[in-house]
Chain A
Amino acid sequence: MSATTMTAPRQRIPVLVLIAMAWIATILMVALFAEMLRPYGITAMDLRARLTPPVGFGGTIRHLLGTDELGRDVLSRLIVSVRISVLIAFGATAIAALFGTTLGFLAAHFRGLVEQGVLMLIDFQASMPFLIVALSVLAFFGNSLPLFIALMGLYGWERHARIARGLAIAANAQGYAAAVRQLGATPGRIYLRHLLPNIASTLIVAATLSFPEVVLLESGLSFLGLGVQPPMTSLGNMVGYGREYLTRAPWILLAPSSIIVMTTLSVSLVGDWLRDRLDPTLT
């Protein structure tokens, strides 16, 4: 990024991107205030109102999005699922960014064998389908929420590692990092106070690119019954459950499905837009 892009006159934000941003904001609000927003508890059963369709399709105002087989309120489950899925995706993306950036900096700092090792790991990560690796780990270790988040956190770190390494090497070779180094700064100071803030915007764009992928991965695994476990619920988990009632109660499945699609679509749109504005070289 050059100074010119930073001071370039603000372009108007496309309408679609604005809508996407509004959607993301809504989702974040829902995730934050899920406990206040949900009308019922996620395990609260209303046995007299089992498989009620959503309002407008023969349902009542009591259960806006209908209920499932056990009479649990779909809207409440949806709200809590959004919270869990967003939590996992945020946690995982943050872990991936932290892990990848650290490895990238280590590679740039030590060069030599450390760098070759990191590059090898990046190659490995990029050449193996992550779903298979994730499934293997789950098979060996069993499932728990912290482990699951940590595992999702291994997704996409190589993108951050590549960026951090490339930019750090460039800055160490000529620019400000070399200048600060010869002032006598410690590596910690160079990397944390100078390099990190300077490459943060690029890293954030990279994170917006992997965020929807993590959402898809999480919901896919949960759909398969290998991710978030009941009684906890997540978007993929709900789809997996709703699949059993595809013919009788399609709303159980359609509600979380549309949230997944709208959210990944929105984040992708905003991410693409950010990338075009901030750093078109990123892939």
Chain B
Amino acid sequence: MTPLLEMQGVSRVYRARRGLFGTGTPVRAVDHVSLQVAPGRTLGIVGESGCGKSTAGRLALGLERPDSGAVQFRGAPMAAPGTAAWRAERAQMQLVFQDPLGAMDRRLTIAQQVLEPLEIHGIGTAAERRERLATLLRDVGLRADLAERHPHQLSGGQRQRAVLARALATDPALLVCDEPVSALDVSIQAQIVNMLTDLQAARGIAMIFISHDLAVVRLISHEVAVMYLGRIVEQGEAEAVFAAPIHPYARALVSAVPVSGPRRLERIVLSGDPPNPAQRPPGCAFHPRCALALARCRTEDPDLVTQSDGRMVACHRAGELARAAA
């Protein structure tokens, strides 16, 4: 299947400026990342906070332009942010935020906000919009009487459903969910994730699901990419990666997820400091925290190499680790 969205070698560098004339160290928030998502499929992106997941999501949506590399939607490059063409494109792709309260205008009702994309893109008559509102609320599991409420009168889970209804209003082909359930109670997390799965099945939406919580990502993803300091260190079929991660960082993450039944991996605790993107270690960026690091890892940066099972791993010891895992 041809991918709906394709990112090829995309990088994004932030220069934190201090004052009017000061220049800070550049931060490579996303470094040479390549991804694809096909319609009806979900790509999970996992990694510690600050590794560049959100930036990757914004780049995928064309909310910012990459400093290098290309992002293609339906085989064509995206329009420049802020242009009329770019605004029109927004109807086809949407972002769901971690903080639904912050993502909504606290002065407008849920109904006004859910219908706002239709107003913006001039879709439908007033009567059609009203009908659409009822459908959308039903699809995300919100009672119709909540439509006239304001955001702060809703619970966290209801708010996230409302944000989702707004995102779905224009029938987008691509949905980027950036930590959509991290701020919610665990019991509600599962409901929202299940609802997303159902919606995707019904509408054939392509999804990028960003989270630092592997348990949630595992529930919903077809493929998964593990990021570390702006780069993808392991990427492949979700089942394969979660069952037998190869990259030592991915192994550490997966081993930290509580599982029922016998454990296949023994718990690996990450040692060393969490990474600082402004001071990227030389060689393999993960080597200061890696129990398996060799001398080579300190100087030589590993490439993302396709393994025999089709998975891609950026580790000098990927071959032997893959054999050991099998």
A touching B, CB within 8 angstroms: yes
Residue ranges of A at the interface with B (Cβ–Cβ < 8 Å):
3, 6-7, 116, 174-176, 178-180, 182-186, 189, 194, 197-198
Interface residues of B in 63-95 (CB under 8 A from A): 63, 87-91, 94-95
20 A-B residue pairs with Cβ-Cβ distance under 8 Å, sorted by A, are A6-B152, A7-B152, A176-B106, A179-B102, A179-B103, A179-B104, A180-B105, A183-B90, A183-B117, A183-B166, A184-B87, A184-B89, A184-B90, A184-B120, A184-B121, A185-B87, A185-B120, A189-B120, A194-B105, A198-B105
* B116 at interface by CB-CB < 8 Å: yes
Residue from B87, B88, B103 within 8 A of A176 (CB atoms): B103
* B20 at interface by CB-CB < 8 Å: yes
- Number of chain B residues close to chain A: CB under 8 A: 25
Say whether B95 contacts A184, CB under 8 Å: no
Say whether B90 contacts A3, CB under 8 Å: no
Whole-angstrom distance between the Cβ of A116 and the nearest chain B Cβ: 7
Interface centre among A174, A180, A182, A197 (most CB of B within 10 A): A182
Residue ranges of B at the interface with A (Cβ–Cβ < 8 Å):
20, 61, 63, 87-91, 94-95, 97, 99, 102-107, 116-117, 120-121, 152, 163, 166
Whole-angstrom distance between the Cβ of A181 and the nearest chain B Cβ: 8
Whole-angstrom distance between the Cβ of B244 and the nearest chain A Cβ: 37
Say whether B152 contacts A3, CB under 8 Å: yes
- Bound-state CA distance A6–B150 (Å) is 12
- Bound-state CA distance A197–B108 (Å) is 10
Q: Which residue of A lies closest to B88 (CB)?
A: A184
Interface centre among B88, B89, B117 (most CB of A within 10 A): B117
- What 8 A-B pairs have minimum CB-CB distances, sorted nearest first? A184-B90, A3-B152, A179-B103, A184-B87, A176-B105, A175-B102, A183-B117, A184-B120
Which residues in B have their C-beta under 8 angstroms from that of A179? 95, 97, 102-104, 163
Q: Which residue of B lies closest to A183 (CB)?
A: B117
- Bound-state CA distance A30–B89 (Å) is 55
Say whether A184 contacts B107, CB under 8 Å: no
Do A182 and B105 form a contact, CB below 8 Å, given A3-B152, A116-B20? no
Whole-angstrom distance between the Cβ of B63 and the nearest chain A Cβ: 6
Which residues in A have their C-beta under 8 angstroms from that of B121? 184
Q: Which residue of B lies closest to A7 (CB)?
A: B152
Residue from B20, B61, B106 within 8 A of A3 (CB atoms): B106
Interface centre among A175, A186, A194 (most CB of B within 10 A): A175
- Bound-state CA distance A116–B107 (Å) is 31
Q: Which residue of A lies closest to B152 (CB)?
A: A3
Which residues in A have their C-beta under 8 angstroms from that of B166? 183
Known: A174-B102, A175-B103. 6 other contacts (CB 8 A): A178-B103, A179-B103, A179-B104, A182-B94, A184-B117, A185-B87
- Bound-state CA distance A111–B104 (Å) is 24
Say whether B90 contacts A176, CB under 8 Å: no
Say whether B91 contacts A184, CB under 8 Å: yes
Which residues in A have their C-beta under 8 angstroms from that of B120? 183-186, 189
Do A198 and B87 form a contact, CB below 8 Å, given A182-B63, A182-B94? no
Q: Which residue of B lies closest to A197 (CB)?
A: B107
Residue from B88, B95, B104, B107 within 8 A of A182 (CB atoms): B95
- Bound-state CA distance A197–B20 (Å) is 31
Which residues in B have their C-beta under 8 angstroms from that of A180? 105, 116
Q: Which residue of B lies closest to A182 (CB)?
A: B95
Which residues in B have their C-beta under 8 angstroms from that of A6? 152
Q: Which residue of B lies closest to A177 (CB)?
A: B105
Say whether B116 contacts A183, CB under 8 Å: yes
Which residues in B have their C-beta under 8 angstroms from that of A189? 120
Q: Which residue of A lies closest to B99 (CB)?
A: A174
Interface centre among A174, A184, A185 (most CB of B within 10 A): A184
- Bound-state CA distance A98–B116 (Å) is 26
- Bound-state CA distance A180–B102 (Å) is 11
Which residues in B have their C-beta under 8 angstroms from that of A174? 99, 102
Whole-angstrom distance between the Cβ of B144 and the nearest chain A Cβ: 22
Which residues in A have their C-beta under 8 angstroms from that of B91? 184
Say whether B20 contacts A176, CB under 8 Å: no
Which residues in A have their C-beta under 8 angstroms from that of B61? 182
Which residues in A have their C-beta under 8 angstroms from that of B99? 174
- Bound-state CA distance A174–B166 (Å) is 17
Whole-angstrom distance between the Cβ of A178 and the nearest chain B Cβ: 8
- Bound-state CA distance A6–B153 (Å) is 12
Which residues in B have their C-beta under 8 angstroms from that of A7? 152
Whole-angstrom distance between the Cβ of B223 and the nearest chain A Cβ: 24
Q: Which residue of B lies closest to A179 (CB)?
A: B103
Q: Which residue of A lies closest to B95 (CB)?
A: A182
- Bound-state CA distance A175–B323 (Å) is 47
Q: Which residue of A lies closest to B102 (CB)?
A: A175
Whole-angstrom distance between the Cβ of B48 and the nearest chain A Cβ: 20
Which residues in B have their C-beta under 8 angstroms from that of A175? 102-103
- Bound-state CA distance A264–B220 (Å) is 63
- Bound-state CA distance A228–B90 (Å) is 54
- Bound-state CA distance A120–B105 (Å) is 31
Residue from A116, A176, A182, A184 within 8 A of B102 (CB atoms): A176
Which residues in A have their C-beta under 8 angstroms from that of B107? 197-198
Say whether B117 contacts A176, CB under 8 Å: no
Which residues in A have their C-beta under 8 angstroms from that of B105? 176, 180, 194, 198
Say whether B90 contacts A198, CB under 8 Å: no
Whole-angstrom distance between the Cβ of A78 and the nearest chain B Cβ: 41
Say whether A198 contacts B88, CB under 8 Å: no
Which residues in B have their C-beta under 8 angstroms from that of A178? 103
- Bound-state CA distance A186–B90 (Å) is 11
Whole-angstrom distance between the Cβ of A145 and the nearest chain B Cβ: 37
